[in-house]
Amino acid sequence: MPKTFDRAPELPKMRRRIGRDTTELLITTLALLSTSGIVAVLIRASVFDISSQDEYDFIKYFLICTSAFLWLTVVRLEFTAKNKAEILYETQMNEYEIMRTKWLEIASQKMEIEAKRSMDNSNLVPPTVLESKPVEIKQVIATKTDSDSKSEDTA
């Protein structure tokens, strides 16, 4: 929002969501790692040294639960960010309406002041009447005389 009232305030823009914070980044990274861990366990990668079926089942179910919990947390954080963006937009719209109302009041006051100044009698120049006189146009045709023709011959 502008700090001065020399121009109209700008209309706020609706965002889809507010940017990611560190918590969202961390939870999303852990969810991706947990999901890749599930894939690694399910294809029985040699990374995990699993000797018995009980250990395998425990690790598999633990990673599935952890992954599900982390992905639900990611979705919840996404909805929270969208909700915060909507609340922020509503707040900005309220501020915009207040600023616009103040700007319109100030603009109308400026217009009233300018109208009063233009209507003020001390600034007006008294009208004067100018009289116009008709002008006669006289056309003089020069006639050649004998002395003029002699001067032309010698030239």
Domain limits, the chain: 22-119
Q: What is the mean pLDDT of the chain?
A: 80
Q: Is residue 56 a contact partner of residue 41, using CB atoms and an 8 Å limit?
A: yes
Question: Does position 73 have pLDDT exceeding 80, yes or no?
Answer: yes
Per-residue burial over 88-124, b if 16 or more Cβ lie within 10 Å, else e, is: eeeebeeeeeebeeebeeeeeeeeeeeeeeeeeeeee
pLDDT higher for 143 or 137? 137
- The pLDDT, as a whole number, for residue 131 is 78
> Mean of the pLDDT values across residues 107-112?
87
pLDDT band at 5 (very low <50, low <70, confident <90, very high): low
Q: What is the pLDDT of residue 149?
A: 56
pLDDT at residue 1, as a whole number: 47
At 52 the pLDDT is 81
Q: What is the mean pLDDT of residues 147-151?
A: 57
Q: How far is CA 41 from CA 8, 34, 51, 71, 105, in A?
A: 61, 10, 13, 18, 69
Q: Which of 42-51, 58-67, 98-107 has the highest mean pLDDT?
A: 58-67
